[in-house]
Amino acid sequence: MLTNDQLAQYDRDGFVIVEKLFDPEETQLLLKIASADDALEQPAESAEKLDLSRKFAAKVLSLGDGAGGESKFWVDDDLGDDYYSAISRCRRIVDSVEQMLGGEVYHWHHKMMLKSARTGGAFMWHQDYGYWHKVGYCLFPFMGSCMIAVNQTTKANGCLQVLAGSHQVGLINHERVDGQATADPERVDAAVERLPLVHLELDPGSAVFFHCNLLHRSDANRSDNPRWALICCYNAARNDPYRDSHHPRYTPLSKLDDDQVVHAGRRQLELMAT
């Protein structure tokens, strides 16, 4: 659960960092499982060419970054028995997001951002709601995310950058550039002039909670170190989409007690070793 001070920061800035949200064993399990996960190594499909009106299974997608690079991520709209799903269901995340959004939430999707060493592409300035209001048919921005650092996240390997307070700007028009939906550059430039730019450098296991209208971006990774991050995304139960899409409609979320998270990770690692 977030403290009153953390909630006040979230309301003011649109994000809040929680150091060591996951302990060393939980974090090492996430790194080991992701590093050995064949699903993350499957060939990437172009996200721009997907039929977003239809539900799809977990897959690796890619987007151009406007500078000749490729931004890759693995995404799953469904919850299963795997460790990523256990983290997405754990109370320390879900209860905090419910505090942020003022009521019950459900799982929207979870994804692993795969910014590989030396080749990981950039993400342009955007708001998540810039995607979700169009392809997810959610009427209100009652949505939020929690990003967990799988390994060290630094400026050198393309950490997340945010404009503090930009969630209060409201939804900005987005246009497609090289496959990515990027926010109107004129309005972004105005926001950059007026709002603090923050680089979210995180230790493994630390996390940032953020609002769906927070403007954010990341540089390409030119370092020798990968930057992987698991992002768990949620929608308010009262914000059920008004049309079907590949994203889920409201389904009650079965929360997982925090002390069960590590057991889910140990179990998956054992299964992967057999």
Chain center to CA of 29? 19
Is the Cα torsion angle 97, 102, 106, 111 positive or negative in sign?
A: negative
3-state secondary structure of 45: strand
**pLDDT tens digits, residue range 74-107?**
999 999 999 999 999 999 999 999 999 999 999 9
Is pLDDT of 129 > 90?
A: yes
Residues 6 or more apart in contact with residue 75 via CB below 8 angstroms: 58, 59, 61, 109, 110, 111, 112
253 neighbors 94 (Cβ within 8 angstroms) = yes
Q: What is the CATH number of domain 4-43+56-273?
A: 2.60.120.620
pLDDT, residue 62, reads: 84
Instruction: Return the residue matching tokens 């709002």.
Output: 195
What are the Cα distances from residue 235, in Å, to 90, 107, 253? Answer: 16, 7, 11
pTM of the model: 0.95
Distance CA 188, CA 230 (A): 26
3-state secondary structure of 54: coil
How far separated are the first and last CA of the chain, in Å rounded? 36
74 neighbors 57 (Cβ within 8 angstroms) = no
Average pLDDT, integer, range 178-198: 93
Instruction: Return the residue matching tokens 């953020």.
Output: 210
**pLDDT tens digits, residue range 231-241?**
999 999 999 99
101 neighbors 142 (Cβ within 8 angstroms) = yes
- Per-domain boundaries in the chain: 4-43+56-273
Q: How confident is residue 54, by pLDDT bands cut at 50, 70 and 90?
A: low
Is pLDDT of 65 > 80?
A: no
User: Listing from the earlier edge strand, what are the strands of the sheet with 123-126?
Assistant: 123-126, 216-218, 160-163, 197-200
Q: What is the bridge-based pairing of β-strands 143-149 and 123-126?
A: unpaired
Average pLDDT, integer, range 21-39: 96
Which percentage of the chain shows pLDDT scores above 90? 81
10 neighbors 213 (Cβ within 8 angstroms) = no
